[in-house]
């Protein structure tokens, strides 16, 4: 199924592969791309045959963030309400990625700048091409970090590195991002899509209910007390323990055979 030219989509082996596709604009976000991405993320949520998402970009970039030619102040008599852009487009996308109870792998194939960087960093497992870089470009155009970046970077990197990256807009190389724990790993450019695809397919064959609950637990850990987290683990384990995939996992272990999880 192909929803829009600006986001290519295909489902194979339980993986919804989404490719941001405005390569001549370094996959910068315009409204059409936002609408298409949102529709695809909603589909990932609703369609039980989709058990993992793989997001990437076409051409030499992952995404250069907001399409600035769409936001040219010289072409307006009144200023744009950028808060409205965030409410309508970016924030729902970040919430959909984080709330989706299925793993989202992102293959960062080249530069990821501005909101493009922070959309990538909102995904569950970030694999980047060694040549890719992450640029908190906002300060260069007089804006503040958005798309969740001002939340994600200080939590993962701490204030010193988050502030330096965000105040200077200096690019962060994929390998350094991996050394700093901001992403899962940097791989050779030629191997990126193979490795990210293999990982997404493996996750799509996993116990989807348990994986979704695990994602949720990890996301709440930093803001929960230990007591609240222990309660949440109990509640989540109750749900996981009632899943058919748990029964299959234990049966397969006892039978000494690989499990066949159905995501149920
Ligand atoms: C672009 C863009 C772009 C349009 C490259 N737009 N054309 C903002 C406002 C509204 C609501 C809420 O949120 C936001 C959040 C944001 O995302 S703000 C930050 C927006 N992004 C940026 O400031 C990044 C701007 N781009 C760059 O700094 C560079 O292009 C990077 C570092 C990404 C890549 O540099 P190069 O590899 O040297 O490529 P380039 O600069 O030559 O760009 C190639 C083409 O892509 C070029 O077009 P052209 O027709 O000359 O070939 C650029 O104009 C176009 N392009 N980013 N965001």
Residue nearest to atom 6 of ligand 1 (CA): 67
Which residue's entry shows tokens 């959909």? 96
Beta bridge partners of 108: 128
User: In CATH, what number is assigned to the domain containing residue 29?
Assistant: 3.90.226.10
| 60 CA closest ligand 1 atom index | 37
Residue nearest to atom 3 of ligand 1 (CA): 67
Examine the pLDDT at 1 and tell me if it is beyond 60.
Answer: no
C-alpha–C-alpha distance, residues 132 and 109, integer Å: 6
| pLDDT at position 204 | 98
Clarify whether residues 155 and 214 are in a common domain.
no
| 133 CA closest ligand 1 atom index | 32
Beta bridge partners of 134: 112, 172
Coil, strand, or helix at residue 15?
strand
Q: What's phi and psi for 174, nearest 5 deg?
A: -55, -40
For residue 253, give every residue at least 6 positions away whose Cβ sits within 8 Å of its Cβ, in sequence order, or none: 259
Residue nearest to atom 52 of ligand 1 (CA): 24
Residue 150: how many other CB atoms lie within 10 Å: 16
Clarify whether residues 195 and 69 are in a common domain.
yes
What rounded mean pLDDT belongs to the chain?
96
Q: How far is the CA of 64 from the centre of ligand 1 (A)?
A: 5
Dihedral sign of CA atoms 184, 187, 192, 196 in order: negative
Give me the mean pLDDT over the 70-82 stretch.
Answer: 79
Residue 185: how many other CB atoms lie within 10 Å: 14
Number of domains in the chain: 2
Clarify whether residues 128 and 234 are in a common domain.
no
User: In CATH, what number is assigned to the domain containing residue 231?
Assistant: 1.10.12
Residue nearest to atom 54 of ligand 1 (CA): 25
Predicted confidence (pLDDT) per residue in 159-177, tens digit: 999 999 999 999 999 999 9
CA proximity to 51, closest of 204, 221, 229:
204
Clarify whether residues 81 and 13 are in a common domain.
yes
Substitution candidate for ligand 1 out of 65, 86, 166 with most atoms within 8 A of CB: 65
Is there a domain that residue 263 lies in? no
Clarify whether residues 105 and 224 are in a common domain.
no
Residue nearest to atom 19 of ligand 1 (CA): 114
Predicted confidence (pLDDT) per residue in 241-258, tens digit: 999 999 999 999 999 999
C-alpha–C-alpha distance, residues 36 and 33, integer Å: 5
The boundaries of the domain holding residue 248 are 208-255
Tokens coding 2: 């192909």
Predicted confidence (pLDDT) per residue in 27-36, tens digit: 999 999 999 9
Q: How far is the CA of 125 from the centre of ligand 1 (A)?
A: 24
Beta bridge partners of 4: 7
Name the band, by pLDDT with cuts 50, 70 and 90, for residue 79. Answer: confident
Predicted confidence (pLDDT) per residue in 202-245, tens digit: 999 999 999 999 999 999 999 999 999 999 999 999 999 999 99
What length is written for the chain?
264
Cα-trace Rg, the chain: 19
Examine the pLDDT at 72 and tell me if it is beyond 90.
Answer: no
> Ligand 1: residues within 6 Å at CB?
25-26, 28, 64-69, 71, 82, 85-86, 90, 111, 113-115, 135, 137-138, 140-141, 143, 146
Q: How far is the CA of 129 from the centre of ligand 1 (A)?
A: 19
């Amino acid at each position: 199924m192909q929803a829009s030219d600006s986001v290519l989509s295909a489902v194979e082996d339980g993986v919804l592969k989404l490719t941001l596709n405005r390569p001549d604009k370094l996959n910068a976000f315009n409204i059409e791309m936002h609408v298409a991405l949102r529709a695809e993320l909603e589909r990932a949520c609703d369609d039980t045959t989709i058990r993992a998402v793989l997001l990437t970009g076409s051409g030499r970039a992952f995404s250069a963030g907001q399409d600035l030619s769409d936001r040219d102040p010289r072409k307006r008599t009144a200023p744009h309400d950028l808060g409205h852009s965030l409410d309508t487009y970016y924030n729902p996308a970040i919430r959909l990625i984080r709330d989706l109870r299925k793993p989202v792998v992102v293959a960062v194939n080249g530069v990821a700048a501005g909101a493009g960087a922070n959309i990538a960093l909102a995904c569950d497992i970030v694999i980047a091409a060694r040549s890719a870089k992450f640029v908190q470009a906002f300060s260069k155009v007089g804006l503040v970090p958005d798309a969740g970046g001002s939340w994600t970077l200080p939590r993962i990197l701490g204030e010193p590195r988050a502030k330096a990256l965000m105040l200077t807009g200096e690019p962060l190389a994929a390998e350094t991002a991996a050394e700093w724990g901001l992403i899962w790993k940097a791989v050779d450019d030629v191997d990126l899509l193979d490795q990210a695809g293999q990982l997404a397919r493996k996750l799509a064959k996993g116990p989807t209910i348990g994986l979704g609950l695990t994602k949720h637990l990890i996301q709440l850990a930093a803001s929960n007390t230990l007591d609240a987290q222990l309660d949440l683990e109990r509640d989540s384990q109750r749900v996981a323990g009632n899943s058919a995939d748990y029964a299959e996992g234990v049966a397969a272990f006892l039978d000494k055979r690989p499990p066949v999880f159905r995501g149920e």
